Amino acid sequence: MQLPTLEIGAGEQVLLTGGSGTGKSTLLHLIAGLIDPAEGRVEIAGQSVHALAGAKRDLFRGQHVGMIFQTFHLLEGFTARENVLAALMFSSIPPREHDQRAADLLARLGVQRIDAAAGELSVGQQQRVAVARAVACGPALVLADEPTASLDPENAARAMDVIQSACRDQNAALLCTSHDPSMVARFPRSLALESIATFAGESNPQEAR
């Protein structure tokens, strides 16, 4: 798969659609610098992600990229507050402000039991913790990989309300992947991966807006 170009503006919210196995998750991992591209470059907040290596890339990711997954990947045995505090360790926010920032952010997102173990919370509350962790450092970009795939329609709508409003509050750009066609109406810009990427044996497609 080759992607000629994809630009997302500051604070912009973009939906990336495509069927299972088309490479949506791989693209997000490339953008986050979790894997390296064979060619080309990824820039976030003016920084070429893959020009950084090792701890420098990890630190940049922690400060500038938030990630939300279908499975929340919360730290087992940690409280809701501690999960957000773990993300704040990568931030440039003074450590003395971390505890209050975590508590305030969780409260704004509707997490009532911030000192309960994450595993003791409902699925909906766990997702809110995951969103709080993703935006805690004030990222330039939030990557959400099929964040509602395991939820029923009602809870999926609530989860997306939380994700989108949290990104707006932080002025973070949001790139969200989904194969659910009902998600398109939520986003001012929607792209089908098949229309912006070139796959082996295919001609160059045109970007869909």
Pairing assessment for the beta strands 141-145 and 173-178 based on DSSP bridges = parallel
Residue 184 scores a pLDDT above 70: yes
Span 25-76, pLDDT tens digits:
999 999 999 999 988 999 999 999 999 999 999 999 999 999 998 888 899 9
The pTM for the full model equals: 0.88
Asked whether 92 and 166 are in contact (CB, 8 A), the reply is: no
**Which pLDDT band, with edges at 50, 70 and 90, does 86 fall under?**
very high
47-48 and 43-44: which strand pairing? antiparallel
CB under 8 A, 24+ apart: contacts of 201-205: 204/4
Q: Name the residue ranges covered by the structural domains of the chain.
A: 13-78+139-196
CATH superfamily, with its number, for domain 13-78+139-196 = P-loop containing nucleotide triphosphate hydrolases (3.40.50.300)
Q: What digits encode the pLDDT tens for the residues 125-151?
A: 999 999 999 999 999 999 999 998 878
